[in-house]
Structure 1
Amino acid sequence: MSSDVPSPNIDAARIDTVRIEDEMEQSYIDYAMSVIAGRALPDVRDGLKPVHRRILYAMHEMGVSSRSAHRKSSSVVGETMGDYHPHGDSAIYDTLVRMSQDFSMRYPLVDGQGNFGSVDGDPAAAMRYTEARMSPISEELLTDIEKETVDFTANYDDRLEEPEVLPAAIPNLLVNGSSGIAVGMSTNVPPHNLREVIDATIHLIDDPECSIPDLMEHVKGPDFPTGANIVGREAIHSAYTTGRGRLRVRAEFEREQADKRERIVITELPFQQNKSRLVERIAENVNEGKIEGISDLRDESDRDGIRIAIDLKRGANADVVENQLLEHHLERTFGVINLALVDGQPQVLDLKETLEHYVEHRKDVVRRRSEYDLGEAEDRAHILEGRLKALDNVDSVVELIRGAEDRNGAKEALSDEFDFSEAQAEHIVRMQLGSLTSLERNEIDEEYDALVEEIERLETILANESELLGVIKEELREIREEYGDDRRTSIIEGGDTVLHEDLIPEEDSLILVTEDDYVKRMPVSAFDPQGRGGKGIIGANLKEGDRVSKVFRANTHDYLLCFTNHGKAYQIRGFDVPEMSRTARGKSAVNILDLDPDEELTAVVNTDDFDDEEFLTMVTENGYVKRTEASAFERVRSSGLIAASLEEGDRLVDVTVTDGSADLLIATRNGMAIRFPESEARAMGRTARGVNGIKLQGGDSVVGLVTADESRSLLTITENGYGKRTPFSEYRTQSRYGKGLIDIKTGNRNGPVAAVESVSEDDDLVVMSDDAQIMRIHAADVSRVGRNTKGVIVMRLAGDDRVASVDVIPEVL
């Protein structure tokens, strides 16, 4: 083999064998950290992301200060992109625009000229049309940057250097806030009032052992640029003590009297709310009938501020309209996530930690600045000492210089004769004759004395931390006096405000749902208990071909989880369902829940009935059972959540709350029932299908699920109106996925099982038929008999009517 041909073994030695999983994991981690540290999260020291920092530094290098003329935005963007931030001009310009908007930043860092967008969501003009320069307060972020106060690093192409962080004479992270989404984490720091934050910083410097409540005596809460109100102080306390919190931000509005009618006028909006879109949504709700009592809606905003006028109809209840607006439009949630980079690592910080990191940064900046100034002062004092010595020996110095052959010879002669240093000798040979006058001598003496004092001051600062902290405090006070202003956002107590729900009486209701998705709410008190075997009374005027599919009890103020045959879960409040008379048809459920055309409610769970340590246990028509932690349903989107994945042809039929230690009992349409320990159905995620619960035979299907409680009985009601109560003790515990035992005899008299419930002696039952006959009876009136019996007549049905649904009214009602 030729010697110049590489050996295959040599080529193989250059190849590393790695697992693709390991390489993908490491590459993704590298990418994630790049996004976290290099783009999305602010540094706790100056409160800036890299793009903000680079824009300000580029403007500083360009000389575009608050005292210079405005410069075309395209020029600023071009310099930033070309020298420091190679991520595209649109990202840089969008950031520049936001830094100039007084409705986006509490203290804008850019002074813009031209169209920089509006609170209506209008975009800024193209960068070739707008101009910008630094605002005065942004220059405070760069003060002393030329004095080696911060570290610099190479830019992206190693051609220039850029600062790793700005000196930041203001605590900018809290003052202007920050928001961003990284990989697997996000930050959302609200803006604050400059005076309050500086007062808290000074308090922390004076008392490093102070508590967060002590600091909150100064920082009352976030201070948004658009004003408005923060409702309640608990969320603020949580945000400051844990770094996380959910603030309720409410618009500022007032009432006016206009032509014998009342008018609601909105003058301040929650932070980051689009004014134009808000007006559109209110108008849409008025047209749809969701908000009643409004006759006219106008946006009267101008340069002086926001003004949205809402005229009310004659006789309209202003309290109701006001609180409907609050519930749907005039309140927003601001989720605080005080996440920032500390030494390059993301950390969630409380209020005190945030200020502590800032103070440490300022200590480092002032120390490095003092060291730089000290070095400069010592160098200048050294030169002045040489000049003074030269003036004391002026004749000899002049004669010596005149006798030298050249400048280098003069410097050597001066150093030899008068012991000048090289720097002093260089300065003396370059002196002009005019500087040898007596007046010049006096000026040098004064400058030298001032330098000696400055050197002593700087040495004291560097030797004594209390002096250094005193400098920081004094500079903060100067900034507070220069830029401080009054708070814009008010903090109001939540208990002082009447909400829309408070205007609705709290009462227990029956909610009726039909197969064609009509729904309505009726007071339970409208139905008096009857004796067993009655016909009931009409509960709805159904349209032709429609049938009742479900009836359930709920309080008007309850939060309800509604489960559908498609395995989805929705959340509503009891009062979201319109209250109607017994003979009314109801309202289309499409106006309340975002249901598909063939989707219907099959189970309802009151969220007040469970806590995070409990489970929602579900059963499907084909006999699958699954348990999911209740906490998985804490946040339900308006479009619903998947509660269970179903195989084709299957449907979710029942859901109940369990604690993990009970026995479950599944009942079928043909009268079979199986009881097994809940632990045999392991807890699963929301989207799981579940496991087999009962082995169905002969086309049988599941109708319901209950938990076995020996102090109660199993109520079984058939479609033909017969029923019975049976002690749970008669249903022995078996293994999951068995055939079960006979619960009730079905046949021509009884018909298939319609529903099962767990009841006590003192409960009431509400039985609903397909044709909307409703009957309320005492559970004790239904005979308590053994398993494998026919039961007794519970409700007499006319014609081909059938029992559709049963619900329990607990004894406490």
Structure 2
Amino acid sequence: MGKRTPPPEPAEVHEVMLRDALEERYLAYALSTITGRALPDARDGLKPVHRRILYGMRLLNLNPTAVPKKSAKIVGDVMGSFHPHGDQAIYDAMVRLAQNFSSRYPLVDGQGNFGNIDGDNPAAYRYTEARMTDVARLLLEGIDEDGVEFKPTYDSTAKEPVVLPGGFPNLLANGAQGIAVGMATSIPPHNAAELCDAALHLIDKPDAKSKSLLKWVKGPDFPTGGIVVDSKESIAEAYVTGRGSFRVRAKWEQEEGARGTWVVVITEIPYLVQKSRLVEKIAELLNEKKLPLVGDVRDESAEDVRLVIEPKSRAVDPELLMESLFRLSELESRIPLNLNVLIKGRIPKVVGLAECLREWLDHLRDVLIRRSNYRKEQIEHRLEVLGGFLIAYLNIDKVIKIIRTEDEPKPVLIKTFKLTEVQAEAILNMRLRNLRKLEEMEIRGEDKELRAELKGIKGILASEAEQWTKVGEQVRKVRDMFGSKTPLGKRRTQFADAPEHDLAAIEEAFVEREPVTVVISEKGWVRTLKGHVADLSGLTFKTDDKLDHAFFAETTSKLLAFGTNGKFYSLDVAKLPGGRGHGEPIRMFIDLDQDAAIVSTFINKGGRKFLIASGEGQGFIVNEDDCVGNTRKGKQVLNVEVPNEARAIAVVAGDRVAVIGTNHKMVIFPLDQVPEMARGRGVRLQKYLKAELSDVAVFDAKEGLSWKDSAGRDQSMTTKELSDWNGNRADAGRLAHGLPKSNKFGKAVE
């Protein structure tokens, strides 16, 4: 065997901390993602992939009037020349630029299947064709006149624009979405004519703030229409700070049918919502019985959106029906606003509306100056050539003789007629057939026109005011092209205030109305049984527990629970456990203090009045509506301090109050001696030395007092029989002979 060659000496090794190496490389990756992929440039509103697609289409001469070419050709050229990434990523970006439901002002005119609002995928790029739209032409206008800077492509074989001339307010008009490293952008589409009006105001008043521009820019203008239901204040806040969101609802109308029937027809859906997915979601909600007001949904869309919602019955309120759909489906969606853009193509920054439009206007001015300088150089070159042509015309015979006789005619011509290199070269390159066109008047006429144009260009370059005047003319031209009277420029998204509805009615609309029986055990376990069940003898309970009370209700009902801590708690019957098993403790549904218990649970009927009392014998009358709270923590009504606690509650239905204590003493007095309050400790109802209040009752003097004995039998006394206990509020009372030894009247609130 031959001798093995020793390995080469390793190059110089540098030790680097792993943390530092990772930070450096991840930072480079983050910057490339932010600047080269995810965030749009504030000047032309495009990401690199979109910019390269449009520039590639321009090189293929795919102007708005040209014959479309295969998308495969466009994608291949863009990928090979400018964008060395996946072909599918390029095609997906191009498809989005062509979809009139995704882009407010499409930049690509697509021929073939480019997808639809249902979410169906576009055809493969070998089947579709494309060309640019007029909007794309505006973005590229002036790119051949040195309007923007160019940079080498990824392989340095060609050049690509750093930014497009951007003669259209594309950033805000078409919007953008993107997720970078540590930051994101979300810009909804806007109306181009409104943006141009705001930009013209900025030209007149450069220091104008974002809030003043809202006179023209009312809000987003989505390609799919819809209705923005945010307040003007929240919209203004979003545009001033550059961060916020817009609440967008579907547009609907009530369509009358035969014999008093009607349906709701949805004609516009929120932006970026797939129609087929929306219909599937509503159908799922119907199957899960979460939309009790809705009978059926069907899609009758053709080219326009038409979703038909049938109500469960003609008596349904259409406003409540739609409110239930808005809350549970994507018929209402929130579109975020995060104006995070690249300033000057380099610096990511969240900007407000005014700064965003200012970046676009400054870019238009820079492009104008570059194009003016380019045109100035062209004119000066042409004037120089025309000067040489005029000399050649006036001395044509001598020029011809020099060219025919001299081996090197160029230096002789320069010396003889004092020409410049450019003039001599132009004369030598002139064809014989053009000699007849060298007429002095034509040369002098063109010279005069060019000198007048040159004077105007110099005036523009020398005056900032003239520059802004030209920019204003350019913006007005765009505004007129996409004005409110044009099909593409007409505003599609409307604004309205969200209708206000009774919250209870809305919540009721989410639950199917069915009869149930609420069962509560002595230890506070609750459950519901389907239907109104009168015979509860077959129910089983946990060990050492039994039935306390039960009452009929509906799934849309609300319960009120009165606790010993003086708080009232609200519970939805629809959220209570079903009849199987023993139910669950009421504490699972409310935040009841550990040392507190439930005094009474009943249906919230509204409009009633209760007499509530504490163990110390204090109480007052409270309206039922003042007892309803919206949180699990409950609503404090009767103020008590440990060891005192809430002890009794009775419906106010009469003109007399009976109060009985644990000492078996009772006092009866007129109801008008008890004040009505919304919250407090109340007044003394009965006086005690070593006893406490046990129960209260309110009754009508004409009918007498009734109660239940220990066996559950109804007992009563007439007003005459009760005369011995008549007194005034805060009396100690007398022993209650004939009343239950439990000192309870046994009359639960229902």
> TM-score of the superposition, structure 1-length normalised?
0.64
What is the SS of the residue equivalent to 1:95?
A: helix
Please give the per-residue CA displacement for 1:120-147, whole angstroms capped at 9, x wherever unaligned. Answer: 1111111221111111211111111122
Distance in 2, matches of 1:49 and 1:228, equals 27
Distance in 1, matches of 2:173 and 2:416, equals 60
- Structure with the greater alpha carbon radius of gyration: 2
Partner of 2:249: 250
Partner of 2:323: 323
Partner of 2:34: 36
Match of 1:94 among 73, 84, 92: 92
Q: Is the 8 A contact 2:49 2:83 kept in 1?
A: yes
Distance in 2, matches of 1:578 and 1:245, equals 34
Distance in 1, matches of 2:440 and 2:171, equals 50
Partner of 1:192: 190
- Compared with structure 1, are the counterparts of its residues 212 and 763 closer, same or farther at alpha carbon in structure 2 (3 Å cutoff)? closer
Match of 1:488 among 486, 491, 508: 491
Q: Does 1:337 align with 2:338?
A: yes
Shift of 1:421: 0.5
Alignment map for 1:705-720 (pairs within 5 Å): 713-714=641-642
Partner of 1:78: 76
Q: Is the 8 A contact 2:139 2:166 kept in 1?
A: yes
Please give the per-residue CA displacement for 1:551-590, whole angstroms capped at 9, x wherever unaligned. Answer: 689xxxx9x9xxxxxxxxxxxxx7xx6457xxxx945599
Distance in 2, matches of 1:33 and 1:105, equals 27
Q: Is the 8 A contact 2:297 2:308 kept in 1?
A: yes
Distance in 2, matches of 1:109 and 1:783, equals 86
Q: CA RMSD in A?
A: 4.3
What is the SS of the residue equivalent to 1:361?
A: helix
Match of 1:374 among 376, 379, 385: 376
Partner of 1:109: 107
- Compared with structure 1, are the counterparts of its residues 308 and 382 closer, same or farther at alpha carbon in structure 2 (3 Å cutoff)? same
Which residue type is aligned with residue 295 of structure 1?
G
What is the SS of the residue equivalent to 1:273?
A: coil
- Compared with structure 1, are the counterparts of its residues 378 and 128 closer, same or farther at alpha carbon in structure 2 (3 Å cutoff)? same
Distance in 1, matches of 2:66 and 2:491, equals 30
Shift of 1:493: 3.5
Distance in 2, matches of 1:45 and 1:784, equals 83
Distance in 1, matches of 2:178 and 2:579, equals 38
Partner of 2:356: 354
Shift of 1:500: 6.3
Partner of 1:414: 413
Q: Is the 8 A contact 2:389 2:423 kept in 1?
A: yes
Distance in 2, matches of 1:469 and 1:41, equals 28
Shift of 1:16: 2.5
Q: Does 1:274 align with 2:277?
A: no
Match of 1:392 among 383, 391, 394: 394
Distance in 2, matches of 1:256 and 1:51, equals 45
Structure 1 portions without partners, runs of 5+: 521-534, 543-549, 561-573, 591-596, 607-617, 620-704, 723-761, 766-776, 800-813
Match of 2:125 among 127, 138, 149: 127
Q: Is the 8 A contact 1:262 1:318 kept in 2?
A: no
Please give the per-residue CA displacement for 1:232-268, whole angstroms capped at 9, x wherever unaligned. Answer: 3223211211101121111111111101212111111
Partner of 1:52: 50
- Compared with structure 1, are the counterparts of its residues 436 and 71 closer, same or farther at alpha carbon in structure 2 (3 Å cutoff)? closer
Q: Is the 8 A contact 2:320 2:506 kept in 1?
A: no
- Compared with structure 1, are the counterparts of its residues 469 and 163 closer, same or farther at alpha carbon in structure 2 (3 Å cutoff)? same
Shift of 1:399: 2.7
Q: Is the 8 A contact 1:517 1:589 kept in 2?
A: no
- Compared with structure 1, are the counterparts of its residues 296 and 792 closer, same or farther at alpha carbon in structure 2 (3 Å cutoff)? closer
Please give the per-residue CA displacement for 1:765-797, whole angstroms capped at 9, x wherever unaligned. Answer: 9xxxxxxxxxxx999999999xxxx999899xx
Q: Is the 8 A contact 1:320 1:500 kept in 2?
A: no
Which residue type is aligned with residue 713 of structure 1?
E
Please give the per-residue CA displacement for 1:399-451, whole angstroms capped at 9, x wherever unaligned. Answer: 3323313xxx2111111011000110111122234433377433222222121
Distance in 1, matches of 2:198 and 2:688, equals 71
**Matched length:** 582
Q: Is the 8 A contact 1:415 1:422 kept in 2?
A: yes
- Compared with structure 1, are the counterparts of its residues 281 and 460 closer, same or farther at alpha carbon in structure 2 (3 Å cutoff)? same
Please give the per-residue CA displacement for 1:607-647, whole angstroms capped at 9, x wherever unaligned. Answer: xxxxxxxxxxx99xxxxxxxxxxxxxxxxxxxxxxxxxxxx
Distance in 2, matches of 1:350 and 1:517, equals 55
Distance in 1, matches of 2:291 and 2:151, equals 58
Distance in 2, matches of 1:277 and 1:177, equals 23
Shift of 1:482: 2.5
Q: Relative to structure 2, which stretch is displaced further, 278-287 or 479-488? A: 479-488
Q: Is the 8 A contact 1:513 1:551 kept in 2?
A: no
Distance in 1, matches of 2:13 and 2:181, equals 33
Distance in 2, matches of 1:783 and 1:369, equals 98
Q: Is the 8 A contact 2:41 2:47 kept in 1?
A: yes
What is the SS of the residue equivalent to 2:105?
A: coil
- Compared with structure 1, are the counterparts of its residues 714 and 180 closer, same or farther at alpha carbon in structure 2 (3 Å cutoff)? farther
What is the SS of the residue equivalent to 1:91?
A: helix
- Compared with structure 1, are the counterparts of its residues 779 and 158 closer, same or farther at alpha carbon in structure 2 (3 Å cutoff)? farther
What is the SS of the residue equivalent to 1:48?
A: coil
Distance in 1, matches of 2:225 and 2:38, equals 26
Q: Is the 8 A contact 1:782 1:794 kept in 2?
A: no
Alignment map for 1:110-509 (pairs within 5 Å): 110-231=108-229, 232-259=231-258, 260-303=260-303, 305-312=304-311, 313-329=313-329, 330-343=331-344, 344-405=346-407, 409-437=408-436, 440-484=439-483, 485=486, 486-494=489-497, 497-499=499-501, 501=503, 503=505
Shift of 1:712: 7.0
Which residue type is aligned with residue 95 of structure 1?
A
Q: Is the 8 A contact 2:390 2:443 kept in 1?
A: yes
Q: Is the 8 A contact 1:324 1:500 kept in 2?
A: no
Q: Does 1:64 align with 2:62?
A: yes
Which residue type is aligned with residue 362 of structure 1?
L
Shift of 1:338: 0.8
Shift of 1:314: 2.8
Q: Is the 8 A contact 1:228 1:252 kept in 2?
A: yes
What is the SS of the residue equivalent to 1:437?
A: helix
Partner of 2:731: none
Shift of 1:601: 7.0
Please give the per-residue CA displacement for 1:255-294, whole angstroms capped at 9, x wherever unaligned. Answer: 1110121211111111111111222222222333222233
> TM-score of the superposition, structure 2-length normalised?
0.69
Please give the per-residue CA displacement for 1:52-109, whole angstroms capped at 9, x wherever unaligned. Answer: 1111111112222222221111221122222222221121111111110000000001
Which residue type is aligned with residue 347 of structure 1?
K
What is the SS of the residue equivalent to 1:494?
A: coil
- Compared with structure 1, are the counterparts of its residues 96 and 425 closer, same or farther at alpha carbon in structure 2 (3 Å cutoff)? same
Q: Is the 8 A contact 2:520 2:549 kept in 1?
A: no
What is the SS of the residue equivalent to 2:64?
A: coil
Distance in 1, matches of 2:520 and 2:152, equals 68
- Compared with structure 1, are the counterparts of its residues 94 and 540 closer, same or farther at alpha carbon in structure 2 (3 Å cutoff)? farther
What is the SS of the residue equivalent to 2:295?
A: strand
